[in-house]
Amino acid sequence: MASTGQHSGPLLEMENVSVNFPAKRPYPFSRKRWIQAVTDVTLQVAEGETFGVVGESGCGKSTLANAMIGMVRPTAGTVRFQGEEIYSLAPRAFKNIRRNMQMIFQDPFSSLNPRFSVYEIIREPLYIRGGASESAMKAKVLELLKLVGLDEDDLYRNPSDFSGGQRQRIGIARAIILNPRFLVCDEPVSALDVSVHAQILNLLMEIQGSLNLTYVFISHNLAVVHNICQNMVVMYLGMTMESGPSEAIFANPLHPYTQALLAAVLDIDVQRSRERVLLKGDTPSPIDPPEGCRFWQRCPSAMNGCVTVPAELVEVEPAHYVACHLVSGFSSEQMAIGLHRPVSGQSRG
Ligand code: SF4
């Protein structure tokens, strides 16, 4: 069934979404193993907002984004866009709804075909959809070139003629040519010179205002997320550690992982940066991740119970959720057997 446009709830909803990929077997007859890229993520994105997804490399941000826009079918859970479960749609309806969901990629160097001209690159989604004359497509491409700050003289040049910032402008024009409602911006400035970050972010904000777009903004840069996102989720090893309104999380980060990420951003809060929580070690493999709290091996506050008892998300204030035993506490029975005691040998922050 195609969308009626009458839906009044969140534009995008993910409910208990998990995505597993088969891992390469080390030996031909070894047991099958799974990369648990995303585990049990629930979130809602309201029409017109910018929703942040943050976490270190390998935390599952990009897989989550791909599941949002119909590019990776979840192993479990549901993804609804405008109220419709996208992975249950018939192919034609899926194609229609998919046009409303586009992505801006991290690397403007590899995401543009070097053999195509700017015109061919931006026009491509319209060309594939069909139904528009060459003159109509050219007029639309010229309109978008202007919107993203490039000009007519650039039309038949190749991507190699442009700087990283200009290539990202071309990628943005291509992403909006089908008039989508929803854009996933997957680390859109992280591959660019710092000097052009603000220009591209300002362009994205201007386009959002003029075209009434909804963004999911994926980043490991909390300063940027703080500036542009109304709501956010903090992910670690495929799971939600903390989620809620950005203001609430930045004012009162409760999860040790969020605190560590924030402490690394000196310009957000000088006072907080003095109480630095330094993370040691690397993120563990998403193949067979820790069975308790996924963060326990790197957490400076880990307790015995964190090793075996998963931390459930609890609502600590309206719409602000945290998955940590420090917040939810252990039961009196669990405390009686010492689950609240620090893990021996774990460093204190
Ligand atoms: Fe640290 Fe335990 Fe909280 Fe996990 S549940 S973040 S290991 S204190």
Q: Which of 177, 196, 229 finishes a domain?
A: 177
Q: How confident is the model at residue 296 (pLDDT cuts 50, 70, 90)?
A: very high
With beta carbons less than 8 A apart as the criterion, state whether 18 and 74 touch: yes
**Percentage helix, strand, coil, to 5, in the chain?**
35, 20, 40
Annotate 3-20 with three-state secondary structure. Answer: CCCCCCCCCEEEEEEEEE
pLDDT on residue 274: 46
264: phi then psi, degrees, rounded to nearest 5: -80, -10
CA atoms within 13 A on the CB side of 27: 3
Establish if 333 belongs to a structural domain: yes
Task: Quote the CA–CA distance of 261 and 347 in Å, as a whole number.
Answer: 17
Q: What letter would DSSP give residue 23?
A: P
**Cα-based angle 164, 167, 171 (whole degrees, multiple of 5):** 135
Q: Which of 160, 177, 194 finishes a domain?
A: 177
Task: Quote the CA–CA distance of 325 and 204 in Å, as a whole number.
Answer: 38
pLDDT on residue 292: 93
Domains in the chain, number: 2
Whether residue 314 is predicted with pLDDT greater than 60 in this model: the reply is yes
Task: Quote the CA–CA distance of 326 and 254 in Å, as a whole number.
Answer: 9
Establish if 133 belongs to a structural domain: yes
CB atoms closer than 10 angstroms to residue 191: 16
Q: For residue 147, which of 214, 203, 63 has the smallest C-alpha distance?
A: 203
Q: What letter would DSSP give residue 188?
A: T
Establish if 67 belongs to a structural domain: no
pLDDT on residue 272: 52
> Which comes out higher in pLDDT, residue 38 or 342?
38
Mean pLDDT in residue range 94-112: 89
* Ligand 1 atom with least separation from CA of 294: 4
Q: Which of 147, 177, 207 finishes a domain?
A: 177
Establish if 83 belongs to a structural domain: no
Do 342 and 257 lie in one domain? The reply is: yes
Reported as a single tens digit per residue, the pLDDT across 211-237 is 999 999 999 888 889 999 999 999 999
Q: How far is the CA of 245 from the centre of ligand 1 (A)?
A: 21
Q: How confident is the model at residue 3 (pLDDT cuts 50, 70, 90)?
A: very low
Establish if 126 belongs to a structural domain: yes
Query: What range defines the domain where residue 292 resides?
Result: 253-348
Reported as a single tens digit per residue, the pLDDT across 107-122 is 877 889 999 999 999 9
pTM of the model: 0.91
Q: Which helix (H) or strand (E) holds 234?
A: strand 231-236
Please report, in angstroms and rounded to a whole number, the separation of the first and last CA atoms in the chain: 53
Mean pLDDT in residue range 77-103: 95
Q: Please give all residues whose beta carbon lies within 6 A of any atom in ligand 1, as ranges.
A: 255-256, 293, 295-296, 299, 301-303, 306, 311, 324-326
pLDDT on residue 346: 61
Give the length of the chain. Answer: 349
Q: How far is the CA of 255 from the centre of ligand 1 (A)?
A: 8
With beta carbons less than 8 A apart as the criterion, state whether 56 and 220 touch: yes
* Ligand 1 atom with least separation from CA of 299: 1
With beta carbons less than 8 A apart as the criterion, state whether 216 and 65 touch: yes
Q: How far is the CA of 250 from the centre of ligand 1 (A)?
A: 19
pLDDT on residue 345: 61
Q: Which residues contact 91 (CB under 8 A, 6 or more apart)?
A: none
| Helices 118-129 and 134-147, packing angle to 10 deg | 130
With beta carbons less than 8 A apart as the criterion, state whether 39 and 238 touch: yes
Establish if 153 belongs to a structural domain: yes
With beta carbons less than 8 A apart as the criterion, state whether 188 and 228 touch: no
Structure tokens at 79: 């993804």
Establish if 304 belongs to a structural domain: yes
Establish if 281 belongs to a structural domain: yes
